[in-house]
Amino acid sequence: MNWQQFWDKQGEDKVAALQVARVLNGQAIDPSLVEKIATKISLQLELKNHETLLDVCCGNGQLSKLLLLHCTSVYGVDFSEQLILHARKLHEPNLQFYCASADRFGLNQEFDKVVLYFSFQYFESYEMGKDVIKNLLKHARPGALLLIGDIPDKRKFFTYYNSPKKLLSYYKQVFKGTNNMGKFWHPNELHMICQELEVIGAPMEQEAWQPYSHYRFDYLIKKP
């Protein structure tokens, strides 16, 4: 799957939630639910008003804008030019956006907290995931918390693909190279990455109200 093409095309939609594929029961996710998710993220990160936040794979910046309510500034990074164009139209003070890939971007700044939400599945190999987390850590201050959120759980693969029809569709998409779900990660893979990078990480179960809690989990990392 060419993810850059996919997200640039997705970004042409006129509905903000659909630009970033935030769908629930076939409909664009309700903005009030996104606000609730932003508040949840701020609590997980223990985000404070005076702190800076790096939002990687920020998409169209809608979540970044909500997270800005909980800190002093947000810097968003995404590799989709189309989505970054939308983000830059927000024109919010203390909200900046940069177009680059998650594993290779370089900023001359370290941040108090880092979030990568609803996107880790698009890094489809162990090494790619490790490279991304390594780059996030590079941009985090000592003692910073990093949240990798909304990760499809490999242990719950058949909870998501819960019918022969869904499974057949999945295998067809994989064969054609059009599978848009990406990789289902096992928490142990993230444990191994953290061990190799010499940081501490732990999975976090999502709450029942979260839209994809039945097959996704979060992962919190602390930089020494």
Please name which of 10, 40, 13 lies closest in space to residue 205, comparing C-alpha atoms: 40
What's the pTM value of the predicted model, to 2 decimals?
Answer: 0.95
Here the CATH number for the domain that contains residue 209 is: 3.40.50.150
Q: Using the structure block, give the residue that is written with the tokens 């191994």.
A: 192
Is the model's pLDDT at 111 over the cut of 90? Answer: yes
pLDDT, one tens digit per residue, over 27-75 is 999 999 999 999 999 999 999 999 999 999 999 999 999 999 999 999 9
pLDDT of residue 24: 86
Domains identified in the chain, total number:
1
CA distance 98 to 79: 8
- What is the mean pLDDT of the segment spanning 116-144? 98
CA distance 216 to 160: 9
Which residues constitute the domain of residue 105? 3-223
Q: Average model confidence (pLDDT) for the chain?
A: 96
By percentage, how much of the chain surpasses pLDDT 70? Answer: 100
- What is the mean pLDDT of the segment spanning 96-118? 97
pLDDT of residue 204: 98
